[in-house]
Amino acid sequence: WPAAARPPAPAGRSGVPGKRAIALSWSAGSGAVTYTLFSSPNFTGPFTVLATNLAASSYFDTQAVSGQTNYYEVMAVSGCDTSTASAPIGIYLPRPVLNAGNAGAGMLSLNWPAWATDWGLYFATNLNPPVVWYPATNDIGSNGGQFFVTIPAGFGTRFFRLAAP
């Protein structure tokens, strides 16, 4: 019997950042039965196993870290052997940007992208440790692909941030 050929490393890797997740895909390799996916916060690794026994040549990474580039490698697995790892691919998963502006008459306007539906708006009265962040309870509206809130500016110093659960 001829020896089974080692499957080639998966090619055609791509990723699309989304709402706190990255949709990954790669070209199905000849002889591959399943795939093993690895991830790392660094281009050079170390890479840890993210998923094994993937029958499809795609994966939805809900553990990706927002605000940084997430790196991935994938290996093809045949019935007899495993390919070498693919070259790393890096996908940046953005955090939503919080914008502030003057809404006139002593009012502050804050807005952020509407895709950030599960991010909450928080405020602190100072940044001296320990910093305590409180949820903003102002009514939040949406308009033109943005969430927005208008806040009276006369309540002293306030620091704002968006945070995901």
Which pLDDT value is given to residue 75?
Answer: 97
Mean pLDDT of 83-98: 96
Name which residue leads in pLDDT, 82 or 155: 82
The model's pTM: 0.81
pLDDT confidence tier of residue 3, bands split at 50, 70 and 90? low
Check: CB of residue 55 under 8 Å from CB of residue 47: no
Strand order in the sheet with 141-143: 99-104, 107-113, 146-152, 141-143
The three-state DSSP-derived secondary structure of 26-81 is CCCCCCCCEEEEEEECCCCCCCEEEEEEECCCEEEECCCCCCEEEEEEEEEECCCC
Radius of gyration of the chain (CA): 22
Q: Is residue 68 scored above 70 in pLDDT?
A: yes
Which pLDDT value is given to residue 130?
Answer: 96
Which pLDDT value is given to residue 1?
Answer: 42
